[in-house]
Amino acid sequence: MLFERDAELALVGGALRAATAGESALILLRGPLGIGRSALLQRLPGLVTGSDARVLRANAAPMEQDFAFGVVRQLFDSLLAGTPEEAREHWMTERAGFAKLVFADDAMPPAEAHDVAQSEAVLHGLCTLLANVGEETPLLLLVDDLQWADVPSLRWFAYLARRLQGLRVVVVCTLRDGDPRAQHALVREVADAATRVLTPAPLSVEATKEVILGHFGEAADEEFACACHESSTGNPLFLNSMLFSLVATGCRPEAAQAQQLRTQRPSKLRERVESGLRNQPRPVRDLAAAIATFGEQGDPELIARLAGLDAIGFAGALRSLHQLGLLATEQEPRFFHRVVQDAVESSMTVVERERLHDSAAALLYRFGAPAEQVAAQLMAVTVSRQPWSVVVLRAAADTALRRGAPDTAARYLRRALLDSSTEGEDRARLLIDLATAERGFDPAACERHVSQAVPLLTTPRDRAAAVLRIAPTVLGAPPASMIDLIGQVATDLGSADTLDGSAREIALRLEARLRHAGHEDPAELASSSERLRGLGESPPMRSGAERELIVVLLHAATISARRPAAELASLANRILEREPATPSHVHTALPLLVLTLIAADSVQGISSWLSIERQARRQHVTVADALVHVEHSLVLTARGRLPEARDQAERAMQLVDADWHEVSACATVSLAAVALELRDIELSKRIVSGVGRRRSESLSLNAVSQILESAIDAHQGQWVSALDGLLTVGRLLEASGWRNSSLYPWRPWAISLHQRLGDHASALALAEEEHAWAESWGAASAVGRALRLQGWLHGGERGVELLRDAVGTLRGSANDLELARALVLLGRRLGESAEAAAALREGAELATACGASWLVERARPGTAGKPGAAPAPKATLTRTERRVAELAGTGLTNAEIADRLGVSSRAVEKHLTNSYRKLGVAGRAGLAGAISADVPDAS
């Protein structure tokens, strides 16, 4: 459909009516590529419908310019071919007979054709023929793309333009602005003779909406329509090309697709633009190539220099590009759409593009442009001829790093490696710089490039400093090859006690890396704890290296619980006082400090420190960002703020890539801690499913995965298998020297499961073990939790007394959720007293703030037990009975159960009979529900 062209159609219609009375007209339709000249011309024959006017049409084409009178013959052939011989002879009488030379079927020799084209008699004969036909009926002559017409036809149109009066003819020609042949003398003569010049305007937003409706069959959202109008600038060709591409991909005209539309670069449109540029003179093509080379940031003076144009040549070429409709504005050398740049680049060879980009880099460098602008040009060149290219690329990388774009910095440095020597220290420095940038988003590449750089360095100090560019792991151990590399450079450098200055700093950091690499080895943990003890009560913390070593030693003492929590927390907080709160801390061992302070229930300092760090942090998708979110999540979990903790953990999970094994493991552990506290089984299943084969990466990941699986099993009533999994975790952690239950709370879950299974003695023994450990560790949250577990297990006044002690202890803790648990349990135990109501109310308020909906439900009035009564499980099955009942509940037969457990079918039948009686069910159908029924637990 044709939109917003009513004025043009009305003007041509009026000219036709005037032609009936002998008032002829020459109308010129002109405009840039794609504005709709041809579409408008195709609509004009509809104006003569119902009248006796004749329509003669012709389309000029570049390939037919050597065919003399080709356009004239197109106009008259249809007229003459469909007319009886008698009428043709009547039209060709007298002087019109000379026109027969034009329509002769036999091709004339070139010299004779030239004479005919120049013949005044032939030109006049054609006009006479036109007049003879016009006496019978008005004529509408339509000529598309006049600029491509052959010269004889143009000569006749110029001849006709001066002799239209009285011919009853309306001639409508289209002319593409910006085409070089539009400046041909004969074309200009015809254009100057035009009685009216029409320039179709770009489509409005409203017309754009109508075009969209025609393509999609539905109205467009306002944002989508505005994006279409903005991207196409109202040019019908550009608009339709983009919409065709979107319709082909199945998009709908919705606001959400506006951004996709802005990035559309239709290939058909590119080909049309490229074809238009191909016919331009060399200066115009050179200017287009220079604009494409510089892109959006091009300076007019530099663009002119790159194109090799002086001021006058630049202005003329710029004007031609604007007339073609390819520039955003008439004075600015900037394409209005990215597809124009695509077309220009497609018209150049690879050699031409590289030469232009290299020359553009040289111009920018000579005129003092910023390093990143010069580097952007060098990035488009395979190998630069400029001797300063490596220096500029390194400077650009440094700028990118300082503005928080390590991925961009890495691209510059990889490009610099192509221009550098293949060996030597200069290449090593480049590799180290590249590794520094990559550690923010690609740790594996960082390790690889450091490994490549180390052999190229000549001094032990430089080799050791290079290795430190690799960020230490937080949870898992680094690869064995990396441990060997760190050990080798540390040996070459020597002990810190024998060094001073920067060499000593490097040696201390290497010691920290090596000690932390063995944090899953009980012997190494013991050694690190002794190293910390040997530093005294006030170990040196003046330098960053000294602080990093102490952080690693504190972590070892924390997970092995070899030193009291208060002592470790004091040292950790002293480090925070001296350590700047900057995002770069994630590339050191400092994140381990978070674990120490969480375990020690001393998170106030780290909370403030991380808040300051967050204000300084830029938002980028890097390892650093993911680790910072993990740190926030762990601290929030330790405070019992579960919704916020979950948000931070999930943001970390969204940032990490599958290749970021270390960071992915950290994010998984933080989210697992939230899932356990929330008792979110669906989240737990998702985490366990996502861990898969990555369990072998670290002991931490193994432990939390197994605890989550046990929680899932417990929720499904499979208490025996859940307990087995927890006890396995406990043995694994103990064997590794990891005794800190604050970080990996397997005992509380195991205690609850022992009690559910009716093994009160085992539950009590494990609770006493937990309490003894907590008292030794000394953190308020650990001691309070241990007291709560014992209070839950004990009945009567002894249980109430323990729960009151737990509440009192936890009031000094940062963990609001633990306090809420103790308050709710105390309130339920106290029954209907005022103290019980107050405890339940406070517990519910705290649980609500923590996002623990399951605990809020337990705090509701009427759910409390009788005062002084110990929590008796509803289903006190023995361990074997529980296992048999679980298997029967899954649908297995007695024989299948007997085969799996290695017992007789009669034994299975006996255990099932006891289970039916204890659970109060009639048969197998009720087992699954009875096993998973709610049983009081420690919370």
Percent of the chain topping pLDDT 90 = 47
> What are the backbone dihedrals phi and psi of residue 481, each rounded to the nearest 5 degrees, phi first?
-65, -35
Range with the lowest mean pLDDT among 657-661, 816-820, 924-928? 657-661
Which residues make Cβ contacts (< 8 Å) with residue 7, sequence separation at least 6? none
Which pair of structure tokens corresponds to residue 423? Answer: 């060996």
**Which candidate, 280, 380, 292, places its Cα nearest to that of 343?**
292
- The pLDDT-based confidence of 872 (bands split at 50, 70, 90) is very low
- The pLDDT-based confidence of 474 (bands split at 50, 70, 90) is confident
Higher pLDDT, 279 or 117: 279
- The pLDDT-based confidence of 405 (bands split at 50, 70, 90) is confident
Distance CA 60, CA 167 (A): 24
Q: Is the pLDDT of residue 423 over 60?
A: yes
| 308 Ramachandran zone, left/alpha/beta (phi>0; psi -120 to 50) | left
Which residues make Cβ contacts (< 8 Å) with residue 722, sequence separation at least 6? 709, 710, 711, 712, 713, 714, 749, 753
Which superfamily does 507-716 belong to? Answer: Tetratricopeptide repeat domain (1.25.40.10)
Q: pLDDT tens digits for 740-754?
A: 999 998 999 999 999
Which pair of structure tokens corresponds to residue 437? Answer: 């940038």
Range with the lowest mean pLDDT among 44-53, 74-83, 109-118, 155-164? 109-118
Amino acid at site 519: H
Amino acid at site 165: Q
Q: Is the pLDDT of residue 113 over 60?
A: no
187: three-class secondary structure by DSSP: helix
> Is the Cβ–Cβ distance between 624 and 663 less than 8 Å?
no
Q: pLDDT tens digits for 532-543?
A: 999 998 999 999
Q: Is the pLDDT of residue 693 over 70?
A: no
The half-sphere exposure of 275 on its side-chain side, counting CA atoms within 13 A, is 11
> Is the Cβ–Cβ distance between 738 and 744 less than 8 Å?
yes
Distance CA 33, CA 274 (A): 11
Residue with tokens 């009886």: 84
Mean pLDDT of 155-184: 89
Tell me the H-state helices in 743-810.
746-756, 760-777, 780-793, 796-810
pLDDT of residue 938: 54
Q: pLDDT tens digits for 609-632?
A: 887 766 655 555 566 778 888 999
Kindly report the length of the chain.
Answer: 939
Which pair of structure tokens corresponds to residue 821? Answer: 């648990």
Measure Cα distances from 588 to 112, 405, 482, 544, 602 in Å: 90, 19, 16, 10, 21
Higher pLDDT, 422 or 797: 797
Which pair of structure tokens corresponds to residue 43? Answer: 């609509």
Burial (Cβ within 10 Å: 0-12, 13-18, ≥19) of residue 867? middle
> Is the Cβ–Cβ distance between 236 and 269 less than 8 Å?
no
Distance CA 827, CA 831 (A): 7
Tell me the H-state helices in 44-184.
70-81, 85-91, 110-118, 120-136, 151-161
176: three-class secondary structure by DSSP: strand
Top-ranked range on mean pLDDT: pick from 250-264, 623-637, 650-664, 893-907: 623-637
The DSSP letter of residue 291 is H
Which residues make Cβ contacts (< 8 Å) with residue 832, sequence separation at least 6? 864
Residue 845's H or E segment, with its range, is helix 834-850
- The pLDDT-based confidence of 361 (bands split at 50, 70, 90) is very high
Buried/exposed code over 319-345 (b: 16+ C-beta within 10 A; e: otherwise): ebbbbbbbbeeeeebbbbbbbbbbbbb
> What are the backbone dihedrals phi and psi of residue 641, each rounded to the nearest 5 degrees, phi first?
-90, 80
Which residues make Cβ contacts (< 8 Å) with residue 294, sequence separation at least 6? 302, 303, 306, 360
pLDDT of residue 867: 37
Quote the radius of gyration of the chain (alpha carbons, Å): 43
Which pair of structure tokens corresponds to residue 671? Answer: 């989210």
Which pair of structure tokens corresponds to residue 790? Answer: 């014992």
Distance CA 330, CA 599 (A): 67
C-alpha angle 358-363-369 in degrees, rounded to nearest 5: 110
Pick the CATH number of 6-198 from 3.40.50.300, 3.40.50.360, 3.40.640.10, 3.50.50.60: 3.40.50.300
Helices 796-810 + 780-793 axis angle, to 10: 160
- The pLDDT-based confidence of 232 (bands split at 50, 70, 90) is confident
**Which candidate, 671, 670, 669, places its Cα nearest to that of 682?**
671
Mean pLDDT of 796-823: 94
pLDDT of residue 903: 82
Which pair of structure tokens corresponds to residue 219? Answer: 């109205």
Distance CA 43, CA 417 (A): 60
Which residues make Cβ contacts (< 8 Å) with residue 63, sequence separation at least 6? none
Distance CA 518, CA 525 (A): 7
Q: Is the pLDDT of residue 140 over 70?
A: yes
Which pair of structure tokens corresponds to residue 331? Answer: 């004075």
Distance CA 791, CA 797 (A): 9
Tell me the H-state helices in 140-221.
151-161, 185-192, 205-216
DSSP secondary structure of 14-81: HHHHHHHTT--EEEEEEESTTSSHHHHHHHGGGGGTTSS-EEEEEE--GGGTTSTTHHHHHHHHHHHH
| Domain coordinates in residue numbering, the chain | 6-198, 205-260, 271-419, 425-506, 507-716, 779-858, 879-931
pLDDT of residue 336: 80
**Which candidate, 671, 581, 662, places its Cα nearest to that of 634?**
671
Q: What's the whole-number average pLDDT of the chain?
A: 85
Distance CA 163, CA 691 (A): 87
Mean pLDDT of 544-567: 95
Distance CA 232, CA 226 (A): 10
pLDDT of residue 920: 67
> Is the Cβ–Cβ distance between 261 and 229 less than 8 Å?
no
> Is the Cβ–Cβ distance between 69 and 112 less than 8 Å?
no
Task: Considering only the C-alpha atoms of the chain, give the largest distance between any 2 of them, rounded to a whole number of Å.
Answer: 134
Mean pLDDT of 306-323: 91
Q: Is the pLDDT of residue 939 over 80?
A: no
Range with the lowest mean pLDDT among 175-179, 811-815, 834-838? 175-179
Q: Is the pLDDT of residue 194 over 70?
A: yes
Q: Which fold has domain 879-931?
A: Arc Repressor Mutant, subunit A (1.10.10)
pLDDT of residue 784: 96
**Which candidate, 740, 738, 744, places its Cα nearest to that of 726?**
744
Q: Is the pLDDT of residue 869 over 50?
A: no
- The pLDDT-based confidence of 934 (bands split at 50, 70, 90) is very low
Range with the lowest mean pLDDT among 107-111, 583-587, 603-607? 107-111
Range with the lowest mean pLDDT among 102-111, 120-129, 284-293, 881-890? 102-111
The half-sphere exposure of 24 on its side-chain side, counting CA atoms within 13 A, is 25
Distance CA 50, CA 46 (A): 9
Q: Is the pLDDT of residue 238 over 90?
A: no
Distance CA 450, CA 432 (A): 6
> Is the Cβ–Cβ distance between 289 and 352 less than 8 Å?
yes
Mean pLDDT of 9-26: 88
- The pLDDT-based confidence of 107 (bands split at 50, 70, 90) is very low
The half-sphere exposure of 435 on its side-chain side, counting CA atoms within 13 A, is 24
Q: What does DSSP say about strands 139-144 and 54-59: parallel, antiparallel, or unpaired?
A: parallel
Percent of the chain topping pLDDT 70 = 89
Top-ranked range on mean pLDDT: pick from 205-209, 296-300, 923-927: 205-209
The DSSP letter of residue 202 is P
Report yes or no on whether pTM surpasses 0.85.
no
Q: pLDDT tens digits for 263-307?
A: 777 787 888 888 888 888 899 999 999 999 998 777 899 999 999
**Which candidate, 770, 738, 745, 772, places its Cα nearest to that of 560?**
738
